[in-house]
Structure 1
Amino acid sequence: MPRRPLHELHRRLGSRYPRLAVLLVIAQGHAVVAIAIGVLARYVSLSTGEWLALLAVTQGFTLVENLVVTRVAWRELRAVGAWHAQPEDPGRAIVAWRAVTRLPLRLVGADAALRTVGWAVLTILIICLVAGLPAVPSGLALGLAGTVVLSGGVLIRYLELELVLRPVVEALAPQLPDDAYLDQTLSLRWRILVAVPLITVVAGGIVAGFSADDTSLPSFGLGVAVALLVSGTIALGLAALLARSVVAPLRALQETTEAVATGDLDQRAPVLAGDEVGRLARSFNIALEGLRERERLHEALDAYVDPVVAERLLDEGPRLEGELREVTVAFIDIRGFTAFAEQASAQDVFALLNEFYGIVVPVIERYGGSANQFQGDGLLAVFGAPVALADHADAAVTASIEVARVVRQRFGRRLQVGIGVNSGPVVAGTLGGGNRVTFTVIGDAVNTASRVEAITRQTGDVVLFTEETRRRLRRDHGTVSGRPPAPVRGKRTPVRLHAPLLAGRVEDPLPEIEGQLGRLAAERRAAGAPEPGEAEHAAAAAASDAPGTAVADGRADAAGERAPVDDAGATSRR
């Protein structure tokens, strides 16, 4: 049958197509049996009534067998009907695909073959009884003829079932996941080893039946036996050679694709001939080269862009629409970098920055963060974008403490950092114009983190995080020292700060915290900004208890004086 008309019928009939197509293929068994009875009339002499009775009996046997087979087919095709009812359901599509692909083998498999052989033996016995033929040699001759008929019928039914169900399989295939389990069907090797000999045997039997001058059953049986033996033997050898020449290149291509699926892109499919399989291997190698180029591009993007952002850019295109996200931002800055840069060569500065970022960025990524921007001696790390994190505040604080530790271990007093951490809503997406864009986050939370980092230079803390971050903490981060609310440029209300003592403090002597904060407050008053009242400080202090976090609070009055606390300004939570 032509391929396109079947697809058109499937489009027109929809859910009715599979059952109608299978029913038409099954019904062809009646025509095969009728032709076999017509051929038998050449060798067996019966009256017209006896031939009609024999035809009715054999057609009755065929009808019973076809009803059994149809019942099996209908049961399997229920899955296709369920998929047609909800075509968007991938689970139903998988079940339907499996049912359709295994149906041809189910309808000609062992159960069907045993039933068909039983009907054939019964038919031969009836013919021998009606015609008065001996079991040997006439019965054996009829058995050989029946073998030819059954072989041809099985082959035709299997091939036609695969053909008529192809439109259904192709409609289901797009919804089949790449990792879906595939039921075992008849392999290509066995298709060749079975189909080629069967075709040869059927053709040889037909030729032997119609070319013999002697119309006696023994002569017919002998001719069929010789044809079956010769054609079957030769065909089987040729089929084995054909299977090897076709299957071996396909197996090599399969092994290559499996290696590529595991990530080994250095493979190359062997092009063993200029036929369809060789052209397929060549096309695969061309596609594989495209994968290598994509992988090289991916590696280059990963070096310049966050790996998650790079993946999204490759999948979604060069522009990522801005999304409102709840994140925690950590701004990391190297202290005293300007003075160092003035005294060192450009090469030394470059080498130091690369060494510094080489140990800092892996820590950020280890805790789910993204190194969003490198700003000379500063780094903006984002937790919660582009990948959402439920515990972004905990991840940012933990990563900041770890950064402080690894920097202290690597550089000692040679290089010190300040880290400001803040949480809040931002817009995350690509920003830029023309052909130059960058993925970034924009919002007040980012600006505040930068200003908080600047305050670490005054307080002497390595890490400071805001009250907004503290409210979002879910885990214990050791002893946390509360800092007096600090005025932040651009904000009317002072920001309450906290310092995790695990991050330590700078070793260089710095002015007292109170004096520095007092100086910041004085600068704020000189700029005309209102000074916070005592009630604001009390409200901020009341909000400072976070689950799993020990907080020691130091309050500053309007003049910047602080109530006495212990040397670290902290208490431990037991």
Structure 2
Amino acid sequence: MLSRLRLWAAASPVGFSALTTACGLGGFSVVLTQLWLTGVLSRLGDATAQIVSITLCYLVIATVAGTAVTMWVQRRNLGWLTRTELPTAADGQRILRLPWVMAALSGAIWIPGIVLEAVLLATLAPGRDMIAGVALVTLGALASTGFTYLVIDRLLRPTIPMIADVVRSAAHPTSTVLVRVTVTWLLASGLPLGSMILVLSDASSIPNERIRAAIYIAIASLFTGAFATVALSRSVASPLRVLRRAVRRITAGDLDVVVPVDSTSEIGLLETSVNDMTERLRERERLRDLFGRHVGAGVADRALNAGADLTGDLREATALFVDVVGSTELAHRLAPREFVDKLNRLLTIVVDATEANGGLVNKFEGDAALCIFGAPIELDDDAGSALRAARRIRDSVLALGELDIGVGVARGTVFAGDIGSDTRLEYTVIGDPVNEAARLTDAAKTVRQRILVSQKVIDAADADERDLWTPHGVLRLRGREHDTKSWTDNRGSSSGYGAKSERSSSTVETGLSQTNPRQT
């Protein structure tokens, strides 16, 4: 409610000028009070009526002129708010300067008044009363200027979120916390202390009057100082509490944090910086999620942490290759969308099974997929993880009943890292195990279990996992000089693909030959 009221006052020329006029009258009331407390008014005698009447005439003229100028300033600096338009960068910069501009305008209106009072007192009440009177009027002018600065600064708070997007630079020097603290101290403590000094140094008044006036000023100073300190502390502590809660939520991983920006001081810049930080973190998470969908979460984390260098290393890893049986025929027989939908369901199974066992789906190759266990994230049992993933993939695809696949698994030393150029990188795994897994996949399409793995995989797996596998035979894989001992899972008789796809001949179409491993 208060924020809407301030917004109305900022958007209304009448409301805006009324507040600035009230600040001026507040300064005038300070002058009258101090003149009464110091006893200057009582010592003017017959000149009192003349001085007061001339002063009131100037007050009326200054109020009318100040109101006209203030309304013009409001239309020039806040016209976009009145017209409910979006502010421009120039509008934002004018808003940042407006408290200082209005304070300077208030001071400019008081300067002729100070000169006028000096002339009147010098003419009608020369001596110490003239010096004290001019000093008190000057203190009132400072009070009015300070009131105007703080009131306009507070009045414009609701507009700060509106200009935050168009003004991203540092705050105006006059709107810093230091300036606000200084102005608040001058109003709450500096001016009362100055008034007390004038009272106590006034030799024209009797001691009892000086003591009474000093006591009144001290009591007023205590109340104004306490009020100003509490108000200033709340204006700093409240946004800092909001910032602390926001940072705590960000640290906990909540990036949907938006800190309201309601100040142009250093605190406002800090609020803007926190919002910018969360926006960049959200963008980083979006990129990480998108990047991870393309290359895997592990590779994405590696790239974000290590940068864009061409790096890699040699390590022991297990490669799992999955390929669709008869994909050429399926692509010819099915509509493209239907075939792609089937592939997507298959690859979803592959991704879920691989990631559930700590592996990485390194790449999709049309109707095939290459999965790596042990890179880029090292696993304690990469071979066992790959074997469990192979069985899960085979069983899930069988249960779905849409496609027929072959799965090959091989293990050995590979290069795992980035290849490419400075502008285009790809994380990949290169080595003989990858080629061996691809060849085993071709052979696996001809066996009932649809899975073939190399001897090195079985040797590296734990004992419980090895018990689930049985020797299949020795294969002469195409493009390889040495025979490959192959294994398949020993529950393959219930795999359900049917015996019609199993070949009993010792040589298969892909150029593979098979012998019994027990004879070698």
Q: Same fold (TM over 0.5)?
A: yes
Q: CA deviation at 1:485?
A: 1.3
**Structure 1: gaps (5+ residues):** 1-187, 215-220, 526-530, 538-553, 558-574
Residue 484 of structure 2 corresponds to 495
Q: CA deviation at 1:238?
A: 1.6
What CA distance in whole angstroms lies between the structure 2 residues aligned with 1:275 and 1:523?
A: 77
Q: How does 1:191-270 map to 2 (within 5 A)?
A: 231-270=221-260
Does residue 271 (structure 1) correspond to residue 266 (structure 2)? The answer is: no
Q: CA deviation at 1:352?
A: 1.1
Go from structure 1 to structure 2 and tell me whether the alpha carbon gap of 1:225 and 1:472 turns closer, same or farther (over 3 Å shift).
Answer: farther
Residue 394 of structure 2 corresponds to 404
Picking from 412, 431, 455, the partner of 1:424 is: 412
Q: CA deviation at 1:231?
A: 4.5
Residue 54 of structure 1 corresponds to none
Q: CA deviation at 1:488?
A: 1.6
Q: CA deviation at 1:433?
A: 3.5
Any idea what SS the aligned residue of 2:380 has?
Answer: coil
Work out whether residues 484 and 556 of structure 1, in 8 Å CA contact, stay in contact via their aligned partners in 2: no
What CA distance in whole angstroms lies between the structure 2 residues aligned with 1:358 and 1:524?
A: 30
Does residue 362 (structure 1) correspond to residue 325 (structure 2)? The answer is: no
Does residue 462 (structure 1) correspond to residue 446 (structure 2)? The answer is: no
Any idea what SS the aligned residue of 1:451 has?
Answer: helix
Work out whether residues 395 and 495 of structure 2, in 8 Å CA contact, stay in contact via their aligned partners in 1: no
What CA distance in whole angstroms lies between the structure 2 residues aligned with 1:506 and 1:465?
A: 19
Work out whether residues 455 and 484 of structure 2, in 8 Å CA contact, stay in contact via their aligned partners in 1: yes
Q: Which has the higher contact order (CA 8 A, sep 6+)?
A: 2
What CA distance in whole angstroms lies between the structure 2 residues aligned with 1:243 and 1:476?
A: 67
What CA distance in whole angstroms lies between the structure 1 residues aligned with 2:306 and 2:480?
A: 37
Residue 327 of structure 2 corresponds to 337
Q: Which amino acid aligns with 2:457?
A: T
Picking from 384, 392, 407, the partner of 1:394 is: 384
Q: CA deviation at 1:305?
A: 1.5
Work out whether residues 462 and 506 of structure 1, in 8 Å CA contact, stay in contact via their aligned partners in 2: no
Q: CA deviation at 1:373?
A: 1.1
Go from structure 1 to structure 2 and tell me whether the alpha carbon gap of 1:213 and 1:347 turns closer, same or farther (over 3 Å shift).
Answer: closer
Q: How does 1:92-131 map to 2 (within 5 A)?
A: none
Q: CA deviation at 1:300?
A: 1.6
Any idea what SS the aligned residue of 1:519 has?
Answer: coil
What CA distance in whole angstroms lies between the structure 2 residues aligned with 1:349 and 1:383?
A: 28
Work out whether residues 398 and 496 of structure 2, in 8 Å CA contact, stay in contact via their aligned partners in 1: no
Q: CA deviation at 1:510?
A: 3.7
RMSD: 3.8
Picking from 295, 307, 311, the partner of 1:305 is: 295
Does residue 443 (structure 1) correspond to residue 422 (structure 2)? The answer is: no
Picking from 292, 295, 298, the partner of 2:282 is: 292
How many residues get paired?
Answer: 331
What CA distance in whole angstroms lies between the structure 1 residues aligned with 2:308 and 2:385?
A: 29
Any idea what SS the aligned residue of 1:459 has?
Answer: coil
Does residue 555 (structure 1) correspond to residue 518 (structure 2)? The answer is: yes
Work out whether residues 461 and 505 of structure 1, in 8 Å CA contact, stay in contact via their aligned partners in 2: yes
Picking from 456, 460, 483, the partner of 2:472 is: 483
What CA distance in whole angstroms lies between the structure 2 residues aligned with 1:288 and 1:409?
A: 44
Work out whether residues 405 and 445 of structure 2, in 8 Å CA contact, stay in contact via their aligned partners in 1: no
What CA distance in whole angstroms lies between the structure 2 residues aligned with 1:253 and 1:461?
A: 60
Q: CA deviation at 1:252?
A: 1.9
What CA distance in whole angstroms lies between the structure 1 residues aligned with 2:215 and 2:317?
A: 83
Q: CA deviation at 1:286?
A: 2.5
Q: CA deviation at 1:401?
A: 0.9
Go from structure 1 to structure 2 and tell me whether the alpha carbon gap of 1:522 and 1:392 turns closer, same or farther (over 3 Å shift).
Answer: closer
Any idea what SS the aligned residue of 1:248 has?
Answer: helix
Q: Which amino acid aligns with 2:482?
A: T
Work out whether residues 475 and 512 of structure 2, in 8 Å CA contact, stay in contact via their aligned partners in 1: no
Go from structure 1 to structure 2 and tell me whether the alpha carbon gap of 1:521 and 1:364 turns closer, same or farther (over 3 Å shift).
Answer: closer
**Structure 2: gaps (5+ residues):** 1-176, 204-210
Q: CA deviation at 1:310?
A: 1.2
